[in-house]
Structure formats: C-alpha cells, structure tokens
Chains A and B, each alone.
Chain A
C-alpha cells in the first residue's frame, strides 16, 4: 500500500530560522507526493507536489521540498520561517487503488514559529 509517515507531531522554530518538516514514503512504483497546509478552522491548501523531474520542487509561500529516492523522503523546507507559517502540515501520497487518485495522508505535523 502507498503510505507516508511524518515522524514529528510538532516542530518549533524561531522566526527567521530555516524550517524542515519531515516526511518519508513507502510506495510501489513511482510516487506522486504532495504537501498540504491547514490553518485553524480551514480546509487544506495545496503547497507543492512531486510527480517527476527535478528533485527540488518549489511551491507556494516560499516553501520547497526535496525528493530523495534513496532515503524515500520528501521533506518540506523553507529558508526563513514566518510566524504566519504556523499551521498543520500534511504530507500525502497518491493511492493507486482501483480507478481513483485518492490521497493517503500522514498524521500531520504542527509547526509553531515563535517571534
């Protein structure tokens, strides 16, 4: 089965410092990987995805992620964190069930950026 794991329930970082939110995957075949962010009482917002091509993927709000096949990882990064980046972050992988493209999500990582 296609799955992702987010090993950290919470990540704390000071504003202006770089941030990393970790994600590892387990798939058969080529993975389609996604990052979403959820602000309080809001739905999920798409940040970026890896389908094929360059291992470094750039997305919304200055976020980027690096696909590492040997380490089966897809960590989310940002060079300089903002307080407004505080939110819940989900890594997801496309599920190759039957005919659909449903996403299998990680448990989520709560990011707290302090001033």
Chain B
C-alpha cells in the first residue's frame, strides 16, 4: 500500500518568506508526527496530532512554526518568516496508534534550505 508522502521534496526559500510543507499519512493512521532533522540537532520532535484531540505542540521551536491537520488526514506545517537556522529536513510520520508500542512510518522528508 501507499506509504507516507510529503511535498515538496525540496524547497529553497529566501530568509523572511513563509513556507508550507505537506504530509499525507497512511490511510487509517490516526496519529501524525512532525520531526526535524538537522546536522547540529539530530532528530527533533516538533508536533503530534491524534484524532480530534488538541495537538501536542511542545516541540515547536518558536511561534513562527505552526501546523494543522485537516479532516484527520493531511497535515500542513507552516513556517513563517523563515530564518537560516530553519534549514533542515522535515520528516512526517504516522502510526495507527493502537498503543504506545506502535512503530511510526516515516515519509521521505522535505529538505528546506533558507538562503
């Protein structure tokens, strides 16, 4: 079956611009996560969605970052007024969340470069 997809695969933007990154999770998966992978920080959790519950935003690095999940499926991560330190690979993952032991299925990521 189809895995997690993300778009765009690469995004180059200028400092100060806003960007939107999209994630399509595996159909039927109720949990959706965003992570950021950068050279200096490794893999960091950003935000988590579970069904209709309020998202866990505890990993977002600043108020320039926000995310939505519409209809319990597609998610968009928005970064406003991008900075050079936002350059990283943004990974989306989903899981069925039958329990805490469920593995997460990752998309290929969006590589963001802020010039």
Contacts and interface: CB of A to CB of B under 8 A. Distances in A.
28 contacts: A32-B100, A36-B106, A41-B108, A43-B4, A43-B91, A43-B108, A43-B109, A46-B104, A46-B105, A49-B103, A90-B43, A97-B56, A99-B50, A100-B31, A100-B33, A101-B31, A101-B48, A101-B100, A102-B33, A102-B48, A102-B56, A102-B59, A103-B33, A103-B35, A103-B43, A104-B45, A105-B43, A106-B42
Nearest to A108: B42
A95 B107 CA distance: 20
Interface residues of A, number: 26
A43 B50 contact: no
Contacts, number: 61
B62 interface: no
A101 to B, nearest CB: 5
A101 B97 contact: yes
Interface in B1-47: 4, 31, 33, 35, 42-43, 45
Interface string B56-76: 101100000000000000000
A13 B33 CA distance: 34
B102 A101 contact: yes
B58 A98 contact: yes
A45 B106 contact: yes
Contacts of B108: 41-43
A43 B108 CA distance: 4
A30 B105 CA distance: 23
A102 B102 CA distance: 11
Contacts of B48: 100-102
Nearest to A50: B101
B104 A99 contact: no
A14 interface: no
Contacts of B87: none
